[in-house]
Amino acid sequence: MSYFLCDEFQNMEPYIPGEQPKDRAYIKLNANESSIPPSPRVLEAVSQSRIQGLGHYSDPHCKQLREAIGETYGVGADRVFVGNGADEVLGFCFMSFFSPRMKLCFPDITYDFYRTYAKTNRIDFEQIPLDTGFHVNVEDYIATDRDIVLANPNNPTGLTLSVSDIERIVADKPNRLVIIDEAYVDYGNESCIPLTEKYANLIVVQTFSKSRNLAGARIGFAIASKEIIDDMNKIKFTFNPFNMSEFALAAGSAAVRDTAYLERCVHSVLATRVRVQKALEKMNFFVAKPHANFLFVSHPYISGGKLCGMLKERGILAL
């Protein structure tokens, strides 16, 4: 640690990226990535002429991409925030709306980023236990006074809350902010985006890293009230005004408009998911009802750690 690091970061817990060993070629299952290429329209969009023009700054208002997302999801571009990956979108949500000592809660088993950010930035966070079936208990979240972050489907369980359950949480306390992280929503689930029309205390975050096969392009977005999106843009303009590259704006705009390709990719992932689930169940695995592009499994006799080790020996990274 340098002499200069701010004292308040002494207890930070930086995110530790998943293992990426280079000793052999692995089948990587540990980041819920896609092995399908992005829409062919992305290749067209990242054209030679666009690369030749890179001497010019990209649009800091990200108009083209915000309009493309807005049209796809039936909301105005002024209700869309775009970021350099959904992590940056979440980072700007947290930076804008949570100060040190503000009260936040999320499940004890969920996407690690929430804890990492909250701990480092001294937010007063509570991790609410899942129930014995690994489900989020909606009553816990209706009861709490804390602001809320929920991944839906949850990661790594793949289990979901219904949109009507989430509406119960959101509607119950209008001054409580609720962030719903829908990274995996496209795999056959219902989105909470329509609720943002009605509730000013709801932010829905999505990513291009899963169903759009663009993890390496770093594109995420939030949909909320115009006021929330204005706040996030103002905060962005004080931290990094030009946060989206010309590449990200072009690739994202092309990908989001290709809904036919999205459906084909999702269909293909779901077919694989059904096939693998059946095979695992034949081998006595418990498989939690899947709603994402991954399976959450356990075996009656063999521990998860041991299974991961055995898979790694066979060239498969599961953790």
Determine contact, residues 128/141, Cβ cutoff 8 Å: yes
Kindly state whether residue 91 participates in binding a second copy, applying the rule CB under 8 A: yes
- Which residues, in sequence order, are bridge partners of residue 221? 82, 206
Q: Measured over all CA atoms, what is the biggest interatomic distance in the chain, rounded to whole angstroms?
A: 59
Region from 69-77, 95-103, 127-135, 152-160 binding a second copy, contact rule CB under 8 A = 95-103
Interactions with a second copy, residue window 215-234 (CB under 8 A): 215-218, 225, 227-228, 230-231, 233-234
73/247 with CB nearer a second copy: 247
Q: Per-residue string for binding with a second copy, 116-135, x by CB under 8 A?
A: xx--xx--------------
Task: Report the C-alpha gap between 300 and 230 in whole angstroms.
Answer: 50
Task: Report the C-alpha gap between 103 and 310 in whole angstroms.
Answer: 41
Tokens matching residue 18: 């998943």
Kindly state whether residue 295 participates in binding a second copy, applying the rule CB under 8 A: no
Comparing CA positions, the residue from 154, 116, 118, 119 lying closest to residue 135 is 154
Region from 35-43, 74-82, 156-164, 180-188 binding a second copy, contact rule CB under 8 A = 35-43
- The CB-of-260 to a second copy minimum distance in angstroms stands at 18
Comparing CA positions, the residue from 151, 153, 142, 144 lying closest to residue 125 is 144
Interactions with a second copy, residue window 70-89 (CB under 8 A): 84-85, 87-88
Kindly state whether residue 46 participates in binding a second copy, applying the rule CB under 8 A: yes
- Which residues, in sequence order, are bridge partners of residue 208? none
Region from 31-39, 131-139, 274-282, 299-307 binding a second copy, contact rule CB under 8 A = 31-39
- The CB-of-29 to a second copy minimum distance in angstroms stands at 12
The helix-helix angle for 246-257 and 63-73 (nearest 10°) equals 20
Other Cβ atoms less than 10 A from the Cβ of 44: the count is: 10
67/190 with CB nearer a second copy: 67
121/157 with CB nearer a second copy: 121
87/167 with CB nearer a second copy: 87
89/130 with CB nearer a second copy: 89
Kindly state whether residue 194 participates in binding a second copy, applying the rule CB under 8 A: no
- The CB-of-152 to a second copy minimum distance in angstroms stands at 20
- Which residues, in sequence order, are bridge partners of residue 306? none
Tokens matching residue 79: 């209700």
Q: Per-residue string for binding with a second copy, 245-284, x by CB under 8 A?
A: xxxx--x---------------------------------
DSSP per position, 181-225: E-TTTTTT---SGGGGGT-TTEEEEEESSSTTS-GGG--EEEE--
Structure-token match 């804890």, residue found: 115
Region from 2-10, 65-73, 132-140, 189-197 binding a second copy, contact rule CB under 8 A = 2-10
Q: Per-residue string for binding with a second copy, 232-251, x by CB under 8 A?
A: -xxx-xxxxxxxxxxxx--x
- The CB-of-303 to a second copy minimum distance in angstroms stands at 27
Q: Give the list of residues 6+ apart from residue 36 with CB closer than 8 angstroms, or none.
A: 213, 265, 268, 269
